[in-house]
Amino acid sequence: MIKKLLQKNKYSSTIAVVFLCALLLTACDKKQTPEPSPSPAPQVVVVQPKPVQKLTSSAVRLSPPPVTQFDFSNKKDPFKPFIAVKTGQNTSPESIRRAKRNSLPIHSFDVNQFKLIGIISSGRENQAMVTDPGGKGYVLKVGMLIGKNDGRITSINASGVEVLEQFKDDNGRVRKEKIKLTLPRKQ
């Protein structure tokens, strides 16, 4: 049937072909986009956030903590002396010196408790070595103090060490007592 129509009118068939081509060209214009086909509704997926560890990096700067006063009430004072002097009774310089001297271990025993173990003779002055009852050794020189009653070493010679003790007795009088420490005899 189309052949019959085409044969009847050659000019009309050419016009129909041109018309169809023009129609096709205008329908496929690049400026127009074809309508998207309706797609099914997108599915909504809810993702729960994972717990994140708190940042501890030094790169993250937080506001500085508020400035507060420092509390040193439970700290030790670095300028306080180790030896505390009792200030209640007598604070004379002599009593303070005596308290400091008596804190040494050589002043915690009586002179008679020390044992002379050797004498060192030299050109200038002699020295003596004694041990306390605990076995600790001390080197003594003339003029040093030894014992509980502040005995002063007066001389050191080959026969022994002489110590002069001055102390107050029960009546309040000052007493002087000479004590001699001698080397033990060889057996």
Of 7 and 166, more confident: 166
CB burial of 37-66 (b: ≥16 within 10 Å; e: otherwise) equals: eeeeeeeeeeeeeeeeeeeeeeeeeeeeee
The conformation of residue 124, written as its DSSP 8-state character, comes to S
Domain residue spans in the chain? 1-27, 109-182
24-52 per-position pLDDT tens digit: 666 555 555 556 666 666 677 777 777 76
Place of tokens 């994972």: 50
pLDDT at 180 over 90: yes
d(Cα 128, Cα 4) in Å, to the nearest integer?
154
pLDDT score at 158: 87
- For 94, half-sphere exposure in the C-beta direction (CA atoms, 13 angstrom radius) is 1
Q: CA gyration radius for the chain?
A: 57
Topology adopted by domain 109-182: SH3 type barrels. (2.30.30)
Backbone angles phi, psi at 162, to 5 degrees: -105, 130
pLDDT score at 75: 85
Question: Average pLDDT in the 122-145 region?
Answer: 90
* Most trustworthy range by pLDDT among 79-83, 102-106, 134-138: 134-138
d(Cα 118, Cα 186) in Å, to the nearest integer?
12
* Most trustworthy range by pLDDT among 40-44, 110-114, 146-150: 110-114
pLDDT at 84 over 60: yes
- The vertex-89 CA angle with 84 and 94, nearest 5°, equals 70
158-173 per-position pLDDT tens digit: 889 999 998 778 888 8
